Amino acid sequence: MAAGLACLVLPLALQVYGPAYAGAAKMKVVEEPNTFGLNNPFLPQTSRLQPKRDPSPVSGPAHLFRLSGKCFSLVESTYKYEFCPFHNVTQHEQTFRWNAYSGILGIWHEWEITNNTFRGMWMRDGDSCHSRSRQSKVELTCGKSNRLAHVSEPSTCVYALTFETPLVCHPHSLLVYPALPMALQQRWDQVEQDLADELITPQGYEKLLRTLFEDAGYLKTPEESESTQQEGGAQGLVFENLESCNKAHKELSKEIKRLKSVLTEHGIPYTRPVETSSSEHLGSKTPTGRTAEQLRGNPGLLGNTL
C-alpha cells in the first residue's frame, strides 16, 4: 500500500515542480551578463554598443598586424575591459543586473609617435562623456605573452591601458623608419639631409616628419580627426566651445572675402548662390563650366589663383 502511494506521489511532485525547475534552468542565462547586455534581441537597438565610426585602417609595424581581429580582456573590480588592437576598447560592467553597463572607450584612430618610435595606440570617439568622447591610449610594452595588464583613468573619460606582448621586446620593434615604405624612407632621408644642410629649421623638420607620418597613415591630419568627430557627433557637437566656433567663423569670412576679391580682380562676375539643397549645389555644372570657359582664355589666371 505504501509503495503504491509513493508511485502516485512522485509523478504528482514532478508535475508540480517541473515548470519551476525549467524556470531555474533558464535563469542561468543571467550568468553571462555581457551576452545578456550585448546580444539580447529584446533590448532596444539604442542600448547596445554602437560605434560612432569605423576604425582606421591597420597601420604601423607589420609584425603587429597579426594582433588585428583578436581581443584581450582584463577584469578589474567590477569591470571587464576588452582591448581589440586596431579596432576598439570596450568596458563591460560585471553584474547580474539586467541593465549592466557596457560602453565603448575608444575606436582605433592613430599612433602616438615620439622620438621616431611608436609609443602607443590612440583609440578615440568612444561613447559620449559629458560633451566629449571617451578615449583610450594603449601603451605597448614587452611581456612574456599577449596580455592586457593594466587599466586606469588618469583623467575623466581618458583611459590608459598597458598591453604586454612579446612582439615589442626587440629594441627595434617599434621604430618608425623601418616600418615605412621605401618611397617615404627616401623622403625622410631627404628631410635629414635638408636639416643637416640647414635648409630647414628644427621646427620645419618636425613639421615635415609629421606630414610624412600622416602620409604613411600613422597619424591623422587635424581635418580627418575633426571630420570623424563631426560624423560621430551624435550630440551634434562640432566645436569644442564657442570660442573655437567664433574663430572658425572669422577665418571662413576672411576666406570668402579673399575669394571675392580674387574674382573681382579678374572681372569674374559672381552672385550669392540661391538656396539649393547641398546635393544640387555639389552637382551644379554651371559655375565650373563657366569658370573653365573663362580660364581657357587666360591660362595665367589658373596659376595665379589656384
Ligand X SMILES: *[C@@H]1O[C@H](CO)[C@@H](O)[C@H](O)[C@H]1NC(C)=O
- Which residues in this chain contact ligand X in the complex, by CB under 6 A? 49, 51, 69, 71, 84, 87-88, 90, 104, 115
Given the complex with ligand X, which of 175 and 295 has the nearer CB atom?
Answer: 175
Least distance between ligand X and beta carbon 124 (Å): 13
Element (H, E) at 212: helix 202-215
Distance (Å, whole) CA 212 – CA 271: 40
β partners of residue 59 = none
Least distance between ligand X and beta carbon 188 (Å): 14
Least distance between ligand X and beta carbon 86 (Å): 8
3-state class (DSSP) for residue 128: strand
Least distance between ligand X and beta carbon 119 (Å): 10
Given the complex with ligand X, which of 85 and 216 has the nearer CB atom?
Answer: 85
Least distance between ligand X and beta carbon 88 (Å): 4
Summarize the chain as % helix, strand, coil (round to 5).
45, 20, 30
Given the complex with ligand X, which of 129 and 268 has the nearer CB atom?
Answer: 129
Calculate the alpha carbon distances from 216 to 107, 180, 213, 263 in Å. Answer: 19, 7, 5, 37
Helices and strands (H, E) in the chain, number of each type? 9, 10
Rg (CA), the chain: 29
Least distance between ligand X and beta carbon 151 (Å): 16
Given the complex with ligand X, which of 84 and 121 has the nearer CB atom?
Answer: 84
Are the CB atoms for 128 and 235 separated by under 8 Å? yes
Given the complex with ligand X, which of 117 and 225 has the nearer CB atom?
Answer: 117
Distance (Å, whole) CA 71 – CA 90: 10
Given the complex with ligand X, which of 69 and 181 has the nearer CB atom?
Answer: 69
User: Comparing C-alpha atoms, which of 103, 107, 98, 99 is closest to residue 79?
Assistant: 103
